[in-house]
Amino acid sequence: MTPLTQYGRMAEKHWREHRPKMVRELERKGLLHQMLLEAEEKTKDEMATLRTDLMQQGSTAQQAHDAGVGDGAGEIHPAPARRDLAVGHQRVIRKNRRGISTATASPKPTGSVKADRSRSFSRIIEAIQTLRKLDAEERPATAEEKAALVKYVGWGAMPQVFDVDNTDWRKEQVQLSEILSDEEHRSARATTLNAHYTAPTVIGAMYRAAERFGFKGGRVLEPACGIGHFVGLMPEDMLRRSTVTGIEIDPLTARIAKALYPDADIRAQPFEQTKLADGFYDLAISNVPFGDYTVHDPRWNNYKFPIHDYFFAAALEKVRPGGLIMFITSRGTMDKLDSTLRELLSTRTELLGAIRLPNDAFKKNAGTEVTTDIVMLRKLRPGEAPTGPAWKETASLHQRHRRSIHASTNTSPPARK
């Protein structure tokens, strides 16, 4: 058997990550190696043509080398350093469809960690199989089937299942490639950064706070709904008085949410692409995505908000004057020195409160440790001045253990009530 060169090995890795179902089918037919050899030869020809074109355009051999073009058969060079790409007034890094870097290499879990994640994987597979059955039979889920669907915990705690270099998870990788379409597989892989679902105790506390702020029911927006925990854990009296719109970027996850909560308006699309009326919702509540990447939204491109801050700005447009925004967010929203979002929010909302959660608040339910805040805001009515605590800037505080922390401050005098 002719061995693969680096071109062929790179093609194989790309196919296994992005076209796993095709790979399994080629393996079953005994055609995978031959197809990789053909892809290898095609890539060599394309690279040789590109190098010739570069040389004819006046590039030096070194510039051709820097462009990632090799000199001989089987030779390959790394691509040049990643560059910012200008999109209108926004500068972004080319990543996947949500701006998430999809590199999933991670430490190999051992012992009980692998066992726990394997059990979670089995529950996810059971939920997907249940959804497939419901789709095939075109009927609503029974109570027993909903109990299986709600155990879908997402992929945030187990990115290893998408890391083709991680041989400890090869069995699960094969199983997943057989149950998901290639499109579903790509979409699921892109969620590994943010698919960490919220603990019921945290959701319950947020709804109790909403009730104390005067919300008894109304139009509710969940802009990053996952499988719908914020719908399912809404107090019964509040739910009966409410209509819920849930936005979820991953189509498979959105379908599970719809099967669990058929009365909710669940939309399978990114928040930044969703058509929603401005000033319409009484409450926006969610555990928003975290990350140092942006999304493309013409309304907010100039601000270059990271994804978690973007959700605040975008939701602010959708909530009515007097409405509430209650988000679990990265600690960076309140802590970072860049006060752009806080400046915006401080002029248009009243800060009702903010709570820093323990870093293990999501460990049991989502398998992750991360420092997060619950930030609770009320959108100001026309002509209304903010009367809540000052909070738009940060200052470093040094405690006796010499650990630097940030506190919200404002040098301007407090507003009069």
What is the tens place of the pLDDT at every residue in 252-278?
999 999 999 999 999 999 999 999 999
Q: At 242, list the tokens.
A: 């409410």
Q: At 214, list the tokens.
A: 């005067």
Note if the pTM is more than 0.85: no
Model confidence at 75, pLDDT cuts 50, 70, 90, reads: very low
354, β-bridge pairs: 375
243-248 and 265-268 as β-strands: parallel, antiparallel, unpaired? parallel
Predicted local distance difference test score (pLDDT) of residue 328? 95
Q: Report the distance separating Cα 74 and Cα 191, nearest Å.
A: 34
Model confidence at 210, pLDDT cuts 50, 70, 90, reads: very high
Alpha helices, H only, 83-163: 111-137, 143-149
Q: Are 308 and 178 in contact (CB under 8 A)?
A: no
- Residue 351 or 411, more confident: 351
Instruction: Look up residue 340 and give its amino acid.
Output: T
Which residue, 304, 318, 375, is CA-closest to 346? 375
Model confidence at 99, pLDDT cuts 50, 70, 90, reads: very low
Q: At 43, list the tokens.
A: 């890539």
**Which stretch of 105-109, 130-134, 332-336 has the lowest confidence by average pLDDT?**
105-109
> Which residue spans within 249-291 are E strands per DSSP?
265-268, 281-287
Element (H, E) at 185: helix 182-189
319-330 and 281-287 as β-strands: parallel, antiparallel, unpaired? parallel
Q: Report the distance separating Cα 312 and Cα 326, nearest Å.
A: 9
Give yes or no for residue 57 having a pLDDT over 80.
no
Q: Are 8 and 40 in contact (CB under 8 A)?
A: yes
Q: Report the distance separating Cα 206 and Cα 376, nearest Å.
A: 9
Say which residues have a Cβ less than 8 Å from residue 388's Cβ, sequence separation at least 6: 350, 351, 352
Q: At 328, list the tokens.
A: 């679990």
- Residue 107 or 279, more confident: 279
